[in-house]
Protein backbone atom coordinates (compact mmCIF):
# COMPACT_ATOMS: atom_id res chain seq x y z
CA UNK A 1 0.00 0.00 0.00
CA UNK A 2 1.27 3.48 -0.85
CA UNK A 3 -1.38 5.57 0.90
CA UNK A 4 1.09 8.34 1.68
CA UNK A 5 2.94 8.63 -1.63
CA UNK A 6 4.01 12.29 -2.16
CA UNK A 7 3.00 13.15 1.42
CA UNK A 8 5.33 14.83 3.90
CA UNK A 9 5.19 13.63 7.51
CA UNK A 10 6.78 15.34 10.52
CA UNK A 11 7.27 12.90 13.40
CA UNK A 12 8.57 14.00 16.82
CA UNK A 13 10.29 11.51 19.10
CA UNK A 14 11.05 9.55 15.93
CA UNK A 15 14.41 8.13 16.99
CA UNK A 16 13.10 5.14 18.98
CA UNK A 17 10.02 3.47 20.47
CA UNK A 18 6.56 4.32 19.19
CA UNK A 19 7.69 7.39 17.21
CA UNK A 20 10.18 5.29 15.27
CA UNK A 21 7.46 2.76 14.41
CA UNK A 22 5.15 5.58 13.28
CA UNK A 23 7.88 7.11 11.10
CA UNK A 24 8.65 3.70 9.61
CA UNK A 25 4.99 3.04 8.83
CA UNK A 26 4.55 6.37 7.02
CA UNK A 27 7.82 5.88 5.12
CA UNK A 28 6.90 2.29 4.17
CA UNK A 29 3.64 3.63 2.73
CA UNK A 30 5.44 6.18 0.57
CA UNK A 31 5.81 9.35 2.68
CA UNK A 32 8.92 11.44 3.06
CA UNK A 33 9.50 11.77 6.80
CA UNK A 34 11.17 14.44 8.95
CA UNK A 35 12.59 12.58 11.96
CA UNK A 36 12.61 14.93 14.94
CA UNK A 37 14.35 13.94 18.16
CA UNK A 38 16.58 15.32 20.91
CA UNK A 39 18.75 12.19 20.98
CA UNK A 40 21.61 12.37 18.50
CA UNK A 41 22.77 8.80 18.97
CA UNK A 42 19.35 7.16 18.52
CA UNK A 43 18.59 9.47 15.61
CA UNK A 44 21.76 8.52 13.73
CA UNK A 45 21.05 4.82 14.19
CA UNK A 46 17.46 5.20 13.03
CA UNK A 47 18.44 7.27 9.99
CA UNK A 48 20.99 4.66 8.93
CA UNK A 49 18.42 1.91 9.35
CA UNK A 50 15.75 3.77 7.36
CA UNK A 51 18.11 4.82 4.57
CA UNK A 52 19.22 1.20 4.18
CA UNK A 53 15.54 0.38 3.59
CA UNK A 54 15.39 3.08 0.89
CA UNK A 55 13.19 5.48 2.87
CA UNK A 56 13.47 9.22 2.26
CA UNK A 57 14.06 10.83 5.65
CA UNK A 58 15.30 14.13 7.06
CA UNK A 59 16.82 13.95 10.56
CA UNK A 60 16.38 17.11 12.63
CA UNK A 61 17.94 17.25 16.10
CA UNK A 62 15.45 19.28 18.14
CA UNK A 63 14.33 19.69 21.73
CA UNK A 64 10.56 20.11 21.45
CA UNK A 65 10.41 21.97 24.76
CA UNK A 66 12.25 24.87 23.07
CA UNK A 67 9.85 26.82 20.84
CA UNK A 68 12.67 28.35 18.77
CA UNK A 69 14.12 24.94 17.96
CA UNK A 70 10.66 23.68 16.99
CA UNK A 71 10.18 26.65 14.67
CA UNK A 72 13.54 25.97 12.98
CA UNK A 73 12.65 22.29 12.55
CA UNK A 74 9.36 23.18 10.86
CA UNK A 75 11.09 25.75 8.62
CA UNK A 76 13.81 23.24 7.68
CA UNK A 77 11.21 20.67 6.61
CA UNK A 78 9.26 23.19 4.55
CA UNK A 79 12.49 24.45 2.94
CA UNK A 80 13.41 20.88 2.01
CA UNK A 81 10.05 19.52 0.87
CA UNK A 82 7.70 22.53 0.55
CA UNK A 83 4.93 21.45 2.94
CA UNK A 84 3.86 19.25 5.88
CA UNK A 85 0.83 17.00 5.32
CA UNK A 86 0.94 14.91 8.50
CA UNK A 87 2.12 15.78 12.01
CA UNK A 88 2.70 12.86 14.38
CA UNK A 89 3.22 14.80 17.59
CA UNK A 90 4.68 12.03 19.72
CA UNK A 91 7.77 13.05 21.73
CA UNK A 92 7.33 12.53 25.45
CA UNK A 93 8.95 11.55 28.72
CA UNK A 94 7.72 9.71 31.84
CA UNK A 95 8.90 8.67 35.24
CA UNK A 96 7.13 7.74 38.46
CA UNK A 97 7.17 9.88 41.57
CA UNK A 98 4.85 10.15 44.59
CA UNK A 99 2.58 13.17 44.32
CA UNK A 100 3.67 14.46 47.74
CA UNK A 101 7.34 14.34 46.69
CA UNK A 102 7.22 15.91 43.22
CA UNK A 103 9.72 18.79 43.07
CA UNK A 104 8.63 21.92 41.24
CA UNK A 105 11.40 21.54 38.65
CA UNK A 106 10.36 17.91 37.99
CA UNK A 107 6.77 19.05 37.48
CA UNK A 108 7.93 21.80 35.09
CA UNK A 109 10.18 19.43 33.12
CA UNK A 110 7.34 16.95 32.55
CA UNK A 111 4.93 19.67 31.43
CA UNK A 112 7.61 21.43 29.34
CA UNK A 113 8.27 18.40 27.18
CA UNK A 114 4.93 16.59 27.15
CA UNK A 115 2.47 19.48 27.00
CA UNK A 116 4.34 22.66 26.05
CA UNK A 117 6.40 20.79 23.45
CA UNK A 118 3.24 19.31 22.01
CA UNK A 119 1.68 22.80 21.85
CA UNK A 120 4.71 24.49 20.22
CA UNK A 121 4.91 21.77 17.58
CA UNK A 122 1.16 21.61 16.94
CA UNK A 123 0.83 25.39 16.63
CA UNK A 124 3.85 25.93 14.37
CA UNK A 125 2.93 23.05 12.07
CA UNK A 126 -0.74 24.15 12.05
CA UNK A 127 0.28 27.60 10.80
CA UNK A 128 1.95 25.91 7.82
CA UNK A 129 -1.09 23.67 7.27
CA UNK A 130 -3.42 26.69 7.31
CA UNK A 131 -1.34 28.17 4.45
CA UNK A 132 -1.71 24.87 2.58
CA UNK A 133 -5.45 24.64 3.27
CA UNK A 134 -5.15 21.07 4.56
CA UNK A 135 -3.39 18.76 6.98
CA UNK A 136 -3.72 16.03 9.57
CA UNK A 137 -2.44 16.17 13.16
CA UNK A 138 -2.25 13.26 15.57
CA UNK A 139 -1.20 14.04 19.13
CA UNK A 140 0.16 11.36 21.45
CA UNK A 141 -1.85 11.21 24.66
CA UNK A 142 -2.19 8.04 26.78
CA UNK A 143 -4.72 6.04 28.76
CA UNK A 144 -3.19 8.20 31.53
CA UNK A 145 -4.89 11.16 29.86
CA UNK A 146 -8.26 9.54 30.56
CA UNK A 147 -7.87 7.81 33.93
CA UNK A 148 -5.37 8.44 36.71
CA UNK A 149 -2.51 6.19 37.75
CA UNK A 150 -0.65 6.24 41.07
CA UNK A 151 2.72 8.02 41.05
CA UNK A 152 2.19 9.76 37.70
CA UNK A 153 0.42 13.03 38.68
CA UNK A 154 2.68 15.17 36.45
CA UNK A 155 2.55 12.72 33.52
CA UNK A 156 -1.22 12.23 33.85
CA UNK A 157 -1.78 16.00 33.96
CA UNK A 158 0.29 16.45 30.78
CA UNK A 159 -1.61 13.71 28.94
CA UNK A 160 -5.03 14.93 30.11
CA UNK A 161 -4.02 18.34 28.77
CA UNK A 162 -3.21 16.84 25.39
CA UNK A 163 -6.67 15.26 25.07
CA UNK A 164 -8.36 18.66 25.48
CA UNK A 165 -5.74 20.57 23.49
CA UNK A 166 -6.58 18.17 20.67
CA UNK A 167 -10.33 18.74 20.88
CA UNK A 168 -9.92 22.52 20.94
CA UNK A 169 -7.54 22.47 17.98
CA UNK A 170 -10.06 20.36 16.07
CA UNK A 171 -12.77 22.94 16.77
CA UNK A 172 -10.66 25.86 15.57
CA UNK A 173 -8.88 24.21 12.63
CA UNK A 174 -11.74 22.30 11.00
CA UNK A 175 -12.60 25.28 8.80
CA UNK A 176 -9.04 25.12 7.44
CA UNK A 177 -9.53 21.48 6.46
CA UNK A 178 -7.18 20.29 9.20
CA UNK A 179 -8.18 17.21 11.21
CA UNK A 180 -6.80 16.79 14.75
CA UNK A 181 -7.10 13.66 16.88
CA UNK A 182 -5.24 12.05 19.75
CA UNK A 183 -4.20 8.46 20.40
CA UNK A 184 -4.24 6.97 23.91
CA UNK A 185 -2.04 3.89 24.17
CA UNK A 186 -1.98 1.67 27.22
CA UNK A 187 1.10 -0.36 28.08
CA UNK A 188 3.39 -0.50 25.01
CA UNK A 189 6.78 -2.23 25.02
CA UNK A 190 9.37 0.50 24.34
CA UNK A 191 12.57 1.81 25.96
CA UNK A 192 10.29 4.10 28.03
CA UNK A 193 8.28 1.25 29.52
CA UNK A 194 11.35 -0.99 29.85
CA UNK A 195 12.35 1.34 32.69
CA UNK A 196 9.88 -0.78 34.71
CA UNK A 197 12.23 -3.67 35.45
CA UNK A 198 9.98 -5.61 37.85
CA UNK A 199 8.89 -8.61 35.76
CA UNK A 200 6.57 -9.88 38.48
CA UNK A 201 4.74 -6.53 38.44
CA UNK A 202 4.48 -6.60 34.64
CA UNK A 203 3.12 -10.19 34.60
CA UNK A 204 0.51 -9.32 37.22
CA UNK A 205 -0.41 -6.15 35.33
CA UNK A 206 -0.98 -8.12 32.12
CA UNK A 207 -2.97 -10.83 33.94
CA UNK A 208 -5.28 -8.50 35.82
CA UNK A 209 -5.60 -5.43 33.64
CA UNK A 210 -5.16 -6.21 29.93
CA UNK A 211 -7.99 -8.10 28.26
CA UNK A 212 -5.82 -9.27 25.34
CA UNK A 213 -3.26 -10.71 27.82
CA UNK A 214 -0.20 -9.02 26.36
CA UNK A 215 1.48 -5.64 26.28
CA UNK A 216 1.25 -3.62 23.08
CA UNK A 217 3.89 -3.29 20.38
CA UNK A 218 4.91 0.08 18.87
CA UNK A 219 3.45 -1.21 15.57
CA UNK A 220 0.02 -1.56 17.23
CA UNK A 221 0.06 2.20 17.73
CA UNK A 222 1.70 3.05 14.38
CA UNK A 223 -1.15 1.33 12.51
CA UNK A 224 -3.67 3.60 14.23
CA UNK A 225 -1.63 6.67 13.30
CA UNK A 226 -1.63 5.51 9.68
CA UNK A 227 -5.42 5.01 9.77
CA UNK A 228 -6.03 8.46 11.30
CA UNK A 229 -3.73 10.09 8.72
CA UNK A 230 -5.44 8.31 5.82
CA UNK A 231 -8.56 9.20 3.85
CA UNK A 232 -10.40 6.37 5.62
CA UNK A 233 -10.51 8.76 8.60
CA UNK A 234 -11.67 11.75 6.50
CA UNK A 235 -14.65 12.48 8.81
CA UNK A 236 -12.86 11.87 12.12
CA UNK A 237 -11.66 14.88 14.08
CA UNK A 238 -11.60 16.05 17.71
CA UNK A 239 -11.62 12.60 19.25
CA UNK A 240 -9.23 10.09 20.83
CA UNK A 241 -8.62 6.46 19.97
CA UNK A 242 -7.69 4.16 22.84
CA UNK A 243 -5.13 1.46 21.96
CA UNK A 244 -4.83 -0.54 25.17
CA UNK A 245 -5.78 -4.18 24.60
CA UNK A 246 -9.01 -3.61 26.50
CA UNK A 247 -7.52 -2.17 29.68
CA UNK A 248 -9.98 0.71 30.06
CA UNK A 249 -12.96 -1.50 29.24
CA UNK A 250 -13.23 -2.42 32.91
N1 LIG B 1 5.38 3.20 26.08
C2 LIG B 1 4.17 3.31 26.59
O3 LIG B 1 3.68 2.41 27.29
C4 LIG B 1 3.32 4.53 26.29
C5 LIG B 1 1.97 4.50 26.66
C6 LIG B 1 1.16 5.63 26.39
C7 LIG B 1 1.72 6.75 25.80
N8 LIG B 1 3.04 6.74 25.46
C9 LIG B 1 3.56 7.97 24.84
O10 LIG B 1 4.13 7.68 23.58
C11 LIG B 1 5.17 8.61 23.29
C12 LIG B 1 6.42 7.84 22.91
O13 LIG B 1 6.78 7.02 24.02
P14 LIG B 1 7.80 5.80 23.89
O15 LIG B 1 7.34 4.75 24.81
O16 LIG B 1 8.07 5.50 22.47
O17 LIG B 1 9.08 6.52 24.58
P18 LIG B 1 10.64 6.40 24.29
O19 LIG B 1 11.30 6.94 25.50
O20 LIG B 1 10.99 5.05 23.84
O21 LIG B 1 10.84 7.42 23.07
C22 LIG B 1 10.62 8.80 23.26
C23 LIG B 1 11.12 9.57 22.05
O24 LIG B 1 10.90 10.97 22.31
C25 LIG B 1 12.11 11.67 22.16
N26 LIG B 1 12.14 12.82 23.08
C27 LIG B 1 12.09 12.82 24.44
N28 LIG B 1 12.20 14.08 24.89
C29 LIG B 1 12.29 14.88 23.81
C30 LIG B 1 12.45 16.28 23.64
N31 LIG B 1 12.52 17.12 24.68
N32 LIG B 1 12.56 16.77 22.38
C33 LIG B 1 12.50 15.93 21.31
N34 LIG B 1 12.37 14.61 21.41
C35 LIG B 1 12.27 14.09 22.65
C36 LIG B 1 13.21 10.65 22.46
O37 LIG B 1 14.45 11.04 21.89
C38 LIG B 1 12.61 9.42 21.80
O39 LIG B 1 12.83 9.46 20.40
C40 LIG B 1 5.31 9.48 24.54
O41 LIG B 1 4.60 10.68 24.34
C42 LIG B 1 4.66 8.65 25.62
O43 LIG B 1 4.17 9.43 26.67
C44 LIG B 1 3.85 5.68 25.69
Q: Whose CA is nearest to atom 19 of ligand 1?
A: 192
Classified as helix, coil or strand, 213 is coil
Q: Among this protein's residues, is 155 annotated catalytic?
A: yes
Q: Whose CA is nearest to atom 18 of ligand 1?
A: 192
Q: Are 163 and 221 in contact (CB under 8 A)?
A: no
Of the residues 155, 187, 205, 225, only one is catalytic, namely 155
Ligand 1 atom at shortest distance from the alpha carbon of 65: 31
Average pLDDT, stretch 219-233?
Answer: 98
Structural domains in the chain?
8-189+217-245 (3.40.50.720)
CA 70 to chain centre: 15
**Residue bearing the CA closest to ligand 1, atom 25:** 13
Residue 10's beta-bridge partner residues? Answer: 34, 87
Nearest residue by C-alpha to atom 36 in ligand 1: 13
- d(CA 40, CA 36) in angstroms, rounded, equals 10
63 touches ligand 1 (CB under 6 Å): yes
Of 87, 124, 90, 77, the closest CA to residue 12 belongs to 90
* Cα–ligand 1 centroid distance for 190 (angstroms): 9
Residues 164, 185: Cα–Cα separation, whole Å: 16
In this prediction, residue 52 carries a pLDDT of 98
pLDDT in tens, 88-131: 999 999 999 999 999 999 999 999 999 999 999 999 999 999 99
pLDDT digits (tens, 9 = 90+) for 46-64: 999 999 999 999 999 999 9
The best mutation among 10, 11, 13, 43 to test binding of ligand 1, ranked by most ligand atoms within 8 Å of the C-beta, falls on 13
pLDDT digit string (tens) for 146-195? 999 999 999 999 999 999 999 999 999 999 999 999 999 999 999 998 87
Helix (H, G, I), strand (E, B) or coil at 86: strand
Query: Do the beta carbons of residue 141 and residue 239 sit within 8 Å?
Result: no
Ligand 1 centroid–CA 112 distance in Å is: 13
CA dist 148 and 241 (Å) reads 17
Amino acid sequence: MERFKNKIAFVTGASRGIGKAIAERFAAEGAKVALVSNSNEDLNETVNEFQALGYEVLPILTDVSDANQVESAVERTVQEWGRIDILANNAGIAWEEDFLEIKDDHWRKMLDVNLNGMFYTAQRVSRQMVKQGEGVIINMASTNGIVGEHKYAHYNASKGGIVLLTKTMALELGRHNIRVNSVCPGYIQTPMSEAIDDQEFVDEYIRTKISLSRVGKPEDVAGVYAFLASNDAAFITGTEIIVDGGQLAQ
